[in-house]
Amino acid sequence: MLRAHVAILLITAAASAAQSGVGDGVGTSATAVQSTSGTDANTAANSQILREMEALRKQNAALAEDMEAMRKQNKSLEGSVADLQVQQNGKWLSEERAKEVRNVVEDVLKDADSRTSLTYAVPTAGFGDRGFFIASPDGNFRLNLSGQLQIRYAANFLSSRDYSILNANPGAGVNRNTADAPSSNSYNKSTYGFEIRRMKLDFFGHVIDPSWQYRLILIYNQNQNAAAVPAGNNAAGNGGSSNAGMEEAMVIKDMGGGFKISVGQFKSPFLREEIVSSRRQLAVERSLVDQMFSTKFTQGVMGTWTGDHLMFEAMYNDGGSNANTGATAAFNSESVGSPPNLNNGAGFTQWAITAHAGWLAYGHWNDFNDLSSYPGEGEGLMFNAWLNMQRGGEGATSAIQGTNNIPLNGNSDAEFLTWSVDASWHFGGANLFSYFVMNTAYDIPATTTNNISSINSYGAVVQGGYFITNTVELFGRWEWLSTQNKGVNDIGNVGNATTPTVANVFNAGRTSAYTAGFNWFIHGRQIKLTTDIGFTTAPLWFNNGIYGAGVAGTNYRIEPDGGGGQIVVRSQLQLLF
């Protein structure tokens, strides 16, 4: 505004000057005449301009002060408006959020109500890494079902020496009396055929909450003595026909902190080769050493503690292989019957204790659930020690075998101490496993012809596998087993026309066995084809192990004293679901 007033005044002053100039050009006299009056007029005009300019300056300063005051007021108002907007927006957001939260909560509650009403009608179900399952939505009840099927072809070839001895002496090498021994020239040098080695249904899970666990395994029991009756299982009245049976039935309480208590029927904790499931073995079948010393299934109660690197198990039970028996089925005195028919070695033990300690040097416990180490899996090293002690329940002074009273098995009238140590090394695509095992039978009842203090038996296994591809594994195994000759237990499997023979594990004997083969994992671990060939270098002298495990399941045959060994070829398809 000040600049505009100044411009007007300057224009006016210029116009006045122009007029003065025009007058000067008309004549000097006119100027002279008017000089005094013109000067006075200009002076008055300039004074007026200065006064107006000063007034304008003051007015402009006042306006500037007013504008500054208005600017400050505007800034203050802007801050207030901003604060008010923030408050209003925050209030709006809080209201909107509260409304959204209320809507979400209402939807969740409605969904929960609908699911609660369907809890018992629509449980969860499916297929996982442990088979088929069905469970309650809250997870407190669960049933898993898995299965195992092993279909095997096997061929057995006796040595020429075995073949000649057996056909020359029909009673040799068979666990039969002379009366029911096959006739001369009736033994086959070669035997072969198909078999269903195992068929299992495995039910497991938990009830009430995940800490109350259970397991029930039903198994098809293979008839390993079908040849005793013509036509095998199809023969009328055949008492040896196969049937379904119970393998495991147990309740497990997880106490937390690595502690568990198991009650029922299951494998007593002895020998790692036996504890590892048959579906996770390296070769087609477990070793002859395992059959000779393993305690298999029994009934009892077991406590387990598992830490990061240590594991301990202890079980009080009915004795090795005493599964599916009644609590009072066996006599423990001589009040019934008379020797040699008293109990006949078929009862319980008087007591049995089994224990295990494991040390995981490195790796994870779950990596050692298999005897194979798969490509890409972690490496690990594990050591174990195992112990089984039991007292046979057969009555004192009863005949066990012949006049020398040699024990027949772990239920005979004697005490048995079996122990083992092992080492397992997994390399993530290769594995090594070895163990040593020993049994001592002592406190054997004395007779007029026998007063021995003990009989010792030994076994050792070394095996390993290597994956040449991601799906094909080559493996090999060496095993050695021996029972000490004490001078009175050299009951050879020779037989004659008048003396029956018994293929007894406590007879003196020694042999080695070698096995080589491959695993082809056709579809992961669910479908596997295993083929191997094995041979023994000396006669296999026993029909059942110390705790009753049968040799027939390995496809080997007992041989006569003086025999030369045998060859076994096996191929097995395994399917898991």
Tens digits of residue pLDDT in 456-497: 999 999 999 999 999 999 999 999 999 999 888 876 554 443
Mean pLDDT over residues 409-418, rounded? Answer: 91
Q: What is the pTM of this model?
A: 0.75
Q: Is a pLDDT exceeding 90 seen at residue 349?
A: no
Token duo for residue 142: 């669960």
Fold assignment, 125-143+157-222+244-331+338-351+368-576: Porin (2.40.160)
Mean pLDDT over residues 58-84, rounded? Answer: 71
Residue 395: per-residue pLDDT:
56
Of the two residues 338 and 386, the one the predictor is more confident about is: 386
Q: Which range, of 39-48, 367-376, 516-525, 533-542, averages the lowest pLDDT? A: 39-48
Query: In the structure, what pLDDT confidence band is assigned to residue 148 with cuts at 50, 70 and 90?
Result: very high
Task: State the SS3 of 123-145.
Answer: CEEEEECCEEEEECCCCCCEEEE
Residue 39: per-residue pLDDT:
58
Mean pLDDT over residues 75-95, rounded? Answer: 59
The answer to whether the peptide bond before residue 137 is cis (omega within 30 degrees of 0) is no
Mean pLDDT highest for which of 100-109, 172-181, 330-339, 462-471?
A: 462-471
| Per-residue CA distances from 282 to 367, 368, 435, 529, 558 (Å) | 14, 12, 15, 11, 24
pLDDT in tens, 366-413: 999 999 999 999 999 999 999 999 998 765 544 455 567 788 889 888
Residue 244: per-residue pLDDT:
81
CB 265 within 8 Å of CB 324? yes
Q: Select from 373, 414, 374, 372 the least CA-distant residue to 392.
A: 414
* φ and ψ of 466, to 5 deg: -145, 130
> What does the mean pLDDT of the chain come to?
81
Mean pLDDT over residues 566-574, rounded? Answer: 98
Distance from C-alpha of 424 to C-alpha of 410, rounded to nearest angstrom: 28
Query: In the structure, what pLDDT confidence band is assigned to residue 131 with cuts at 50, 70 and 90?
Result: confident
Distance from C-alpha of 534 to C-alpha of 202, rounded to nearest angstrom: 31
Distance from C-alpha of 410 to C-alpha of 330, rounded to nearest angstrom: 14
Please report how the helices 28-117 and 2-26 are oriented relative to each other, as an axis angle in degrees rounded to 10. Answer: 160
CB 271 within 8 Å of CB 296? no
Distance from C-alpha of 543 to C-alpha of 566, rounded to nearest angstrom: 15
Query: In the structure, what pLDDT confidence band is assigned to residue 38 with cuts at 50, 70 and 90?
Result: low
| Per-residue CA distances from 390 to 4, 303, 355, 365 (Å) | 125, 18, 12, 29
Q: What 3-state DSSP class applies to 62? A: helix
Query: In the structure, what pLDDT confidence band is assigned to residue 174 with cuts at 50, 70 and 90?
Result: low
Residue 104: per-residue pLDDT:
73
Residue 182: per-residue pLDDT:
66
Q: Which range, of 57-71, 190-204, 452-466, 483-497, averages the lowest pLDDT? A: 483-497
Residue 365: per-residue pLDDT:
96
Q: Is a pLDDT exceeding 50 seen at residue 429?
A: yes
Query: In the structure, what pLDDT confidence band is assigned to residue 257 with cuts at 50, 70 and 90?
Result: very high
Task: State the SS3 of 394-463.
Answer: CCCCCCCCHHHCCCCCCCCCCEEEEEEEEEEEECCCEEEEEEEEEEEEECCCCECCECCCEEEEEEEEEE
Q: Which range, of 16-30, 82-96, 102-116, 451-465, averages the lowest pLDDT? A: 16-30
Q: What 3-state DSSP class applies to 566? A: strand
Q: DSSP label at 273?
A: H
Q: Which range, of 258-262, 273-277, 443-447, averages the lowest pLDDT? A: 443-447
Residue 310: per-residue pLDDT:
98
The secondary structure element, H or E, covering residue 215 is strand 212-221
Query: In the structure, what pLDDT confidence band is assigned to residue 102 with cuts at 50, 70 and 90?
Result: confident
